[in-house]
Chain A
Amino acid sequence: MSALNTLTIAEARDKLRAKEITSLELTEACLSEIDGAGALGAFVHNTPDLAREQAQAADKRLSEGDAPDMCGIPLGIKDLFCTKGVPSQAASAILNGFKPEYESTITQNLFDAGSVMLGKLNMDEFAMGSSNETSTYGNAVNPWRRGNDDAALTPGGSSGGSASAVAADLCLAATGTDTGGSIRQPAAFVGITGIKPTYGRCSRWGVVAFASSLDQAGPMTKSVRDAAIMLETMCGHDPKDSTSADLPVPNFEAMLSGDIKGKVIGIPKEYRMEGMPEEIEQLWADGTAMLKDAGAEIRDISLPHTKYALPAYYVIAPAEASSNLARYDGVRYGHRARLDQGDGITEMYEKTRAEGFGPEVQRRVMIGTYVLSAGFYDAYYNRARRVRTLIKKDFEDVFAAGVDAILTPATPSAAFGLGEMTDADPVQMYLNDVFTVTVNLAGLPGIAVPAGLDKQGLPLGLQLIGRPWEEGDLLNTAYALETAAGFIAKPGRWW
């Protein structure tokens, strides 16, 4: 039998139910992998005692025959999720020492289903970044390398620790969150599957807020089937989140037939970016051919406002962030700066926030403050929200014309080297989200599926975008793509 930590959720579930393995064995296998993988920087707070306790409880449930699909499955949890009694600091120094007195709805849903938490995962500070380099914990590292080159690559961001941990088999799956591409870009960079569901599918309660109108959590997994299984457990209506959708959650896994005959797949011409690497073009063409061979109808479509999505995002997301992050004031939780004689409350705020927030977070909070300030609110913030309406309408129009899903590249490049973007201006880093950010602005479900390797041996992903609330249909199309692409490559172990 191969090492237990390399199992998918579906395989582990079946073996657990067949009593071939126990959750405790599975959990120990993951814990020992985590111990040997410090070089990846993926796990930042380990919870082995809690994991063993949860695994034993899961084994009891399994033996009693009361075992949901996720029962006994060891997971990594992004540091953005508040987990009761366990450090939860959004990879920010301003939340040093913060241990929530409550549990996020999503982790509670997973725990209620019997899942096991191995620990908390690295990320960009407050989920602001595309390379995991803004974390207070230091970098998470991609388990993949360029051929024999030992340069450390980014696992992407902001869910970089989640991506690295799943790709390196430190856990069976992980939670991620996605405000502009933070699940899909890292999933593509490490060759795993990541889905951002429709806005409102997953409760945001207890998830540290970045940009509330864009934030959605989702699973990061080793297969599309696993994404279907885990997503079903994560989502559902939550009275504690006023934007949580009160809709029934279908059995997503049961919808994975792989049959996409007659489905209409849109190929948006605006996603053909100037300077896009030939390999990404080729991957996209290959993916299109695979869906066509599987019986789908391919249709060229236009989403005319695509190029305005990133600039609109970089008004709306910082604006919401500046408001959300106002709560970090050094009074109720987290870091408070040491004050000098005579310092008043304003100095306390200013020093605390200057010490606690990293440079990218400070930059975004200040940009948000600027675009919301008197005199600029209409010119920037309201204009961006109008453009957002048009971006959403672009999608509504193609869906109304009969398109079932849209196929695009997931990222404009393969994983880049850690430190390679240090000297670039901030906008260069923002371009990582060019294919993913439209989906957040329109509130749609999007999934990244690994589809091939570039000539340096790095994974590349494709993105499928679906109709609102039709994650089941989207997952099925992704399943057909996954089956046709047959991506089975794994990173060679160096850590």
Chain B
Amino acid sequence: MSIDTATAAKVAKLARIRVEEDALPALASEFNTILGFIEQLNEVDVEGVEPMTSVTPMRLKRREDVVTDGNQQAKVLANAPDAREGFFAVPKVVE
């Protein structure tokens, strides 16, 4: 599977990273190098092998269904690039 510039552009879009048009060929070429390396995995017989979900056998712990914290609006917003009137502010989403 070889990645062309159109696929590279699509991946960049999905990843929400702006890549300028003239940088796409180099990006596609890097993808191909890395994916070429990954292709080795096709040599392995994985018939009947389960994909790993947890590296150590453990059951997820459950906690009490209670409020554990809250009332920290100022702290939550403290690092926001744009916070107004107690909210995160973003460009207009709905016309």
Contacts and interface: CB of A to CB of B under 8 A. Distances in A.
Interface stretch (A119-127, A261-269, A338-346): A338-346
Given A312-B41, A344-B92, A388-B52, A370 B16 contact: no
B67 interface: no
Contacts of A150: none
A389 B53 CA distance: 9
13 contacts: A99-B78, A200-B58, A314-B38, A315-B38, A331-B88, A333-B80, A335-B81, A344-B91, A350-B13, A350-B17, A386-B46, A387-B44, A426-B30
A457 interface: no
A314 B55 CA distance: 17
Interface centre among B31, B37, B52 (most CB of A within 10 A): B52
Contacts of A344: 91-93
Contacts of B78: 99, 101
A465 B27 CA distance: 37
A332 B80 contact: yes
A366 B31 contact: yes
Contact of A373 (B11, B19, B52): B11
A275 to B, nearest CB: 16
Contact of B34 (A213, A239, A353, A367): A367
Interface of B: 3, 8, 11-19, 27, 30-31, 33-35, 37-44, 46, 49-56, 58, 60-61, 63, 72, 75-76, 78-82, 88, 90-93
A43 interface: no
A292 interface: no
A307 interface: yes
Contact of B31 (A353, A370, A388): A370
B15 A322 contact: yes
A384 interface: yes
Given A311-B40, A339-B91, A351-B18, 18 more contacts: A100-B79, A213-B55, A242-B61, A314-B37, A331-B81, A332-B79, A334-B81, A336-B82, A347-B18, A353-B16, A366-B27, A366-B31, A367-B35, A369-B15, A383-B46, A387-B41, A427-B34, A443-B56
Interface size band for A = 35 or more
A61 interface: no
A125 to B, nearest CB: 14
A492 interface: no
A305 interface: yes
Contacts of B51: 382, 385-386, 388-389
B42 to A, nearest CB: 8
Nearest to A348: B91
A442 B58 CA distance: 14
Given A200-B58, A392-B52, A311 B91 contact: no
Interface of B, secondary structure class, is: loop
A199 interface: yes
A271 interface: no
B41 to A, nearest CB: 5
Contacts of A371: 38
Contacts of A314: 34, 37-38
Nearest to B61: A242
Contact of A311 (B38, B49, B82): B38
Interface string A434-450: 00000001110000000
Interface stretch (A33-41, A171-179, A357-365, A406-414): A357-365
Nearest to A330: B81
Interface string A302-313: 000101101110
B58 A245 contact: yes
Contacts of B41: 308, 311-312, 315, 380, 383-384, 387
A243 B35 CA distance: 30
The 5 closest A-B pairs by CB, nearest first: A443-B55, A385-B51, A333-B79, A336-B81, A386-B46
